[in-house]
């Protein structure tokens, strides 16, 4: 966790209201960090409906394995999250630490181990000593209260410079419902999943299968549409819970419209807060690709632009170097035609028809690059495919942060 708050941090955070049926507690376990909380417990007073999406890494962490095993049960009673150690690439020791933590959590919540969900974030390859915190879980469950959302967001931070929280309200059958979410992430951020932890809870009466469908539908345009450094983590976990029961069981139920939009909007807000806290970031960049052969092709081209170190360093240097965007389009491996390509920085078209725009203004383009929020648009000129990806600039601070991450 950095002591310097990102210049792109929100000026203020929403106050997340209590949600009936869920209580939260945090603690200082001393896993890696000193003088700050690094352990969070979220306990459900009765079984909550649960959905989840996880990293696509072929080297997942032990907690991800546990969550995947428990998710088909559709029921959750307790979530335990630690920061400072990812419990990834830790072999049999990691599996034992996960099993020990799950056992202690189940005993604390009075539930089956299959109703326990775990997440860990931090250094990869260091054994996690579950004994440092498993003995705290019983007291944490007893002292947990309903208004600790901001504290929970702080406890799960690693190199984040600020906590990431969001809340929405919506209606189902005329009744007001709430959805709250927290997230962490600043580095090792790339699509599939965007490298992060996120925990979202609603009091709407929605069954696990319906939650899963909604979460899966929206993850592509939100959490999977952000990239800080093109690196996909071992530990990415997004869990969505409902404390309101399982009254709505059909994904086609028209009552879900308000919930689906609230969930999408909340996930997008959390995703952008992660990008704006990218390690060393000073600028938020929206990459918009239009006119591609398909939406899938547009997505791959957009990620090629967003992940390019040359594009990202040009943004950091406030250099309107559209040639680097041409490079990124050309290397994406998707259908493109040099002589149909057009590129914009903000609302300034800098290239068209395979060459520099005849009305190009260096002064106007440079003015766009000095903004905190920049849109780079590439129109491929071949079809109707489009995609949007968010990223940030790449600065010297990113190298400094990651050069001594384990020290």
| Domains of the chain, residue spans | 22-276, 284-403
CB atoms inside a 10 Å sphere around CB 358 = 8
SS3 content of the chain, % helix, strand, coil (to 5): 35, 25, 40
Q: Against a cut of 0.75, is the pTM above it?
A: yes
Half-sphere exposure of 111 (CA within 13 A, CB side): 23
- Pair 184, 164: CB distance under 8 Å: yes
Domain 22-276 and domain 284-403 have a common topology: no
Topology given in CATH for the domain delimited by 284-403: Ubiquitin-like (UB roll) (3.10.20)
395/276 Cα distance (integer angstroms):
13
195 known ligand binder: yes
Q: What phi-psi label fits residue 306: left (phi over 0), alpha (psi between -120 and 50 degrees) or beta?
A: alpha
Q: Which of 90, 161, 195, 202 is catalytic?
A: 195
184 known ligand binder: yes
CATH number of this structure's domain 22-276:
3.60.70.12
Q: Which residues sit opposite 165 in a β-bridge?
A: 182
Dihedral angle sign, alpha carbons of residues 185, 189, 190, 192? negative
Per-residue pLDDT tens listing for the chain (407 residues): 446 898 889 999 999 999 999 999 999 999 988 899 999 999 999 999 999 999 888 888 999 999 999 999 999 999 999 999 999 988 999 999 999 999 999 999 999 999 999 999 988 889 999 999 999 999 999 999 999 999 999 999 988 999 999 999 999 989 999 999 999 986 544 444 334 799 999 999 999 999 999 999 999 899 888 886 555 566 789 999 999 999 999 999 999 999 999 999 999 999 999 988 877 789 999 999 999 999 999 999 999 999 999 999 999 999 999 999 999 999 999 999 999 999 999 999 999 998 999 999 999 999 999 999 999 999 999 999 999 999 988 888 777 766 665 44
Q: Which residues sit opposite 241 in a β-bridge?
A: 50, 201
349/351 Cα distance (integer angstroms):
6
230/304 Cα distance (integer angstroms):
9
279 known ligand binder: yes
Stretch (H or E) spanning 292: strand 284-292
- Pair 105, 137: CB distance under 8 Å: yes
Q: Which of 233, 20, 205 is nearest to 122 (CA)?
A: 233
What SS3 state is found at 22? strand
- Pair 237, 63: CB distance under 8 Å: yes
What SS3 state is found at 222? coil
Enter the DSSP assignment of 223.
G
211/348 Cα distance (integer angstroms):
41
277/189 Cα distance (integer angstroms):
11
402 known ligand binder: yes
- Reply yes or no on whether 121 is catalytic: no
- Pair 60, 192: CB distance under 8 Å: no
What SS3 state is found at 261? helix
Stretch (H or E) spanning 304: helix 295-306
Any idea of the CA torsion for 402, 403, 404, 406, to the nearest 10 degrees?
60
CB atoms inside a 10 Å sphere around CB 220 = 15
Q: Which of 320, 313, 285 is nearest to 392 (CA)?
A: 285
Stretch (H or E) spanning 273: helix 257-276
């Amino acid at each position: 966790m950095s002591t310097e708050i990102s210049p792109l941090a929100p000026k203020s955070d929403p106050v997340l209201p209590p949600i009936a049926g869920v209580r939260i507690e945090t603690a200082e376990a001393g896993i890696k960090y000193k003088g700050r909380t690094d352990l969070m417990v979220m306990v459900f007073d009765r079984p909550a409906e649960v959905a989840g999406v996880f990293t696509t890494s072929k080297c997942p962490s032990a907690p991800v394995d546990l969550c995947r095993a428990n998710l088909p049960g559709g029921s959750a009673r307790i979530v335990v999250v630690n920061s400072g150690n990812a419990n990834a690439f830790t072999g049999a020791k990691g599996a034992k630490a996960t099993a020990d933590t799950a056992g202690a959590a189940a005993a604390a919540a009075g539930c089956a181990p299959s109703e326990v969900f775990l997440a860990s974030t931090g250094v990869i390859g260091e054994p996690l000593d579950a004994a440092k915190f498993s003995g705290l879980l019983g007291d944490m469950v007893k002292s947990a209260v309903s208004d600790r959302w901001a504290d929970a967001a702080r406890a799960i931070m690693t190199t984040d410079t600020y906590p990431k929280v969001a809340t929405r309200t919506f209606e189902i059958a005329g009744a007001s419902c709430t959805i709250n979410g927290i997230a962490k992430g600043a580095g090792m951020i790339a699509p599939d999943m965007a490298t992060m932890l996120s925990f979202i809870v609603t009091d709407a009466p929605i069954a696990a299968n319906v939650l899963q469908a909604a979460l899966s539908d929206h993850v592509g345009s939100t959490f999977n549409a952000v990239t800080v450094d093109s690196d996909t983590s071992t530990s990415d976990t997004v869990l969505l819970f409902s404390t309101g029961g399982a009254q709505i069981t059909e994904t086609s139920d028209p009552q879900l419209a308000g919930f689906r939009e609230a969930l999408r909007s909340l996930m997008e807000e959390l995703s952008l807060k992660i990008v704006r806290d990218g390690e060393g970031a000073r600028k938020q960049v929206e990459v918009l690709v239009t006119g591609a052969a398909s939406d899938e092709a547009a997505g791959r081209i957009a990620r090629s632009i967003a992940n390019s170190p040359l594009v990202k360093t040009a943004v950091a240097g406030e250099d309107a170097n559209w040639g680097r965007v041409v490079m990124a389009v050309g290397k994406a491996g998707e259908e493109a035609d040099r002589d149909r390509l057009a590129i914009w920085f903000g609302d300034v078209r800098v290239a068209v028809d395979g060459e520099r725009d005849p009305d190009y203004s260096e002064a106007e383009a440079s003015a766009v690059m000095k903004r905190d929020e920049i849109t780079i648009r590439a129109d491929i000129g071949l079809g109707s495919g489009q995609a949007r990806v968010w990223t940030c600039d790449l600065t010297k601070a990113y190298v400094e942060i990651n050069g001594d991450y384990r020290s």
